[in-house]
Structure 1
Amino acid sequence: MLRLFAALPLPPEISRPLRKLQKDLVGARWRPEENFHVTLCFFGELRHTQARDLDELLGEIEAPAPTLSLEGAGWFGRREPTAVWARVRESDELRGLASACERAARRLSIPLERRPFTPHVTLAYCHATLLEDARAWTERHQAYSSEPWQAGAFHLYSSQKRDGGPSRYIAEADYPLSGFTAPEGMY
């Protein structure tokens, strides 16, 4: 079984500054920079045959490369915060790509979570964090913003648990997006 999700990676010039936000919140287990990403669709535990079929369908997605930026912060959990995150500015391209990933999963009858799509980068998972503390942390970081960047591809990631540490995310497959213009000097 593989624990899989589709996501957009963050370039280092976007992920590195996020580390400055990772402080001053009791109960936060800060995520390592290499785990920063924008989840498009969480597929859960899949058999290898399902993963192969999903890979094939994701490879058929034709979508434009979205331009992304980070704007502000937030948290999940109504009574007890479960995570804090940096908000990703929504766009039709981003929402369309997430919907295409969901459609691929539905074609394979993969059960999906029924949460609305909230584009974000998880900075920490929370344990016994007070709601007031999460609210104060979020308010301190509402003015946070990043430079825009264009996502040239999305990946199918596996999540592998590690003893005593954060899960390790491995890009198992990548899918190019149309219209991507590589920054000068990137290649």
Structure 2
Amino acid sequence: MPRLFTGIEIPAEIADRLALLRGGLQGARWIDAENYHVTLRFVGDIDERTADEIADALDRVRRTEFMLQLDGLDVFGSSKPHALVARVAGSRALAELQAEHERIMQRIGLPPEGRRFTPHVTLARLRGVGPREAAHYLGTRGHFLTQPFPVTRFVLFSSKASTGGGPYLVEQSYPLDEAA
């Protein structure tokens, strides 16, 4: 039974810059740079028939390439931080692609995603990190910014059931149409 999700890969040069942020936060379990991504829709553990149905439905998505930018660091869980993330700057094209993935999954019969879409790249899972330590880390490194980078495809990832952080495998990739 595969565990699936859709996402956008982070270019190697940006992943390398993100990896330089590792360290300096006791209780952080850092994600390997090759596993950095922006999740579009978490699917979860599903049977092979549903996995095939998802892969086929995603093949019918027709969207145009677009640009993304990372614009700072943040933590999820203000009173009890649980993840260190790089924020993704607002993007209408990204929001529309994510919404289409959500509609596809619901048409297939999966329940709606329970959380609001907050585009990000998870850098570390946090355990035992207090708000003060998180604020100090963000105060010294939080102004991280990248140049916009092109998004030319999205992918269907699989992962092993774990506490998160990979390894993630690209099961199928879906190119976006070239911008006119």
Matched, 1:77 2:83: no
Counterpart secondary structure, 1:133: helix
Q: Please state how far the C-alpha of 1:149 moved relative to its aligned partner.
A: 0.8
Task: Provide the residue aligned with 1:177 in structure 2.
Answer: 176
SS in 1 for 2:25: coil
Identity %: 35
Distance 1:97 1:165, change over 3 A: closer
Equivalent residue pairs, number? 180
Contact 2:83 2:122 (C-alpha < 8 Å) held by counterparts: yes
In 2, Cα distance between equivalents of 1:68 and 1:92: 10
TM-score of the two chains, using structure 2 as the length reference = 0.93
- Residue by residue over 1:112-170, the C-alpha shift from the partner in whole angstroms, topping out at 9 and shown as x without a partner, is 432111111100011111122112222323321112110110000001257x9953100
CA deviation profile, 1:78-97 (whole Å, cap 9, x unmatched): 43111101111121001011
Which ranges in structure 2 are unaligned for 5 or more consecutive residues? none
Instruction: Specify the SS of the correspondent of 1:155.
Output: strand
Aligned partners of 2:164, 2:106: CA distance in 1, in Å?
32
Q: Aligned equivalents of 1:139 and 1:46: distance in 2?
A: 41
**AA at the equivalent of 1:49:** R
Partner residue, 2:146: 146
Distance of 1:25 and 1:75 partners within structure 2: 12
2:82 is the alignment partner of 1:104: no
| Displaced runs of 4 or more, over 6 A | none
Distance in structure 1 (CA, Å) of the matches to 2:48 and 2:101? 18
What is residue 124 of structure 1 aligned with on the other side?
Answer: 124
Counterpart residue number, 1:23 = 23
